[in-house]
Chains A and B, each alone.
Chain A
Amino acid sequence: MKITDAAVFPYPGGDSSVRRLALEAKSLGFDSLVAVDTPAGTCDGIGIQTGILIQDLPMREVIARVKRVRDAGAVISVNARDNGFNRAVITLKGVHILRGIQAADKLAFDHVTAKMAADSGVAVDIDLSPLIFLRGPARQRVIHRYRDLLVFERRFEFPITLSSYARSIMDLRATREITGLCSLIGMDTPDVEKAFGGVERVTAPTIPSVRVIP
């Protein structure tokens, strides 16, 4: 299982080049990164996957964009909005990750959406940056939302991914530190290890349930 950071933003989105982020990620214990709007490749043994983040678009344009890019081999993520939007996005073929649940409406992710995510094999992302950067009630609210999300995850077993949203090498955290941060939201070490492999799980080619043997 590959330990993957599901979203980093290299230069020009951030202040660090993708190669430097890869160097740092390697020293912090990662095997691969999903770099938004960056060509795929390998840097110092760290696999770089292209990430496409779709946000602030109406549903019709989201469908068109996903259709356009779904065969490009990229990790396609859509930012969460209201409940209806999220349900529609989860059933879209080609979408891998639903992001930004902590910033979405309180009722944006319910048991029906969770079941749909599990059935469609769409991961829900846990963004670690609010746990690191926010303080006080804002952070408490995010912790509460993530704990709520994990209740559904334990019940329906949809994939989870972990993202640092690093725009700089200083925003990256070691895998051990991430395990510590995730303990704040009630994830134990096996849960975190499973979540690190979330990207691999959702991007792996699907094995058909019925195979015709000639």
Chain B
Amino acid sequence: MSTRPPTLRENRRYILVRVEPAGTVIDQKELYYTISDAVTSLWGDGMAAVIMQAVVAAESGYVMIRCRRGTEKELGIALSTVTACRDVRLALRIVAASGTIESLRERIRSGPPVGPDRADPEECMFEKKLCIIQHCNGQKLDVIEKGFKNANRLFISRDDLE
């Protein structure tokens, strides 16, 4: 099938979302299925076909999600019901919506950098427990209690450190 001329194409919108917690490794395909599941569960197959959601890019802690123009609100509500992707807990925070991917990339560049987890974890004390700092962004610290049994992240701030 040949490509449609621009006037006959559907208008699309792109939503930029930030993935919490920072440093979460995102598989684009898995996230697509997760979002698709959330949309279908909330709005049903009929509305999901209208929204036509798709994950178009996942880069540096941000994800760009495509939808049909006029369905941003429905997609936004469905995105707020996403709580995990393949048993990994996460939250999707909507940052912006735009008609082009390029303007969203511009937004990512102008926003605060979301780096990966620290390569050389530093130790700290929280609630009399020895913890390892996994991620640090200004006041915000993501730590893991030291010990082979614990793998759960704790979310604290710098003021919580002893």
Contact = CB atoms under 8 A, between A and B. Distances in A.
User: Chain B interface residue count: which class?
Assistant: 20 to 34
Interface stretch (A73-81, A118-126, A128-136, A150-158): A128-136
Interface in B15-56: 20-21, 41-42
Nearest to A19: B157
Contacts of B3: none
A17 B157 contact: yes
B11 interface: no
A83 interface: no
B89 A20 contact: no
Given A16-B154, A16-B155, A168-B89, A180 B73 contact: yes
Interface in B78-116: 79-81, 83, 89-91, 93-94
B137 to A, nearest CB: 10
Interface string A156-179: 000000000000111111101100
Contacts of B79: 177
Contact of B155 (A133, A168, A177, A180): A168
Interface in A94-123: none
Contact of A170 (B42, B91, B152, B154): B91
A6 B80 CA distance: 19
Interface of A: 11-12, 15-17, 19-20, 23, 28, 43-44, 131-133, 135-136, 139, 168-174, 176-177, 180-181, 183-184
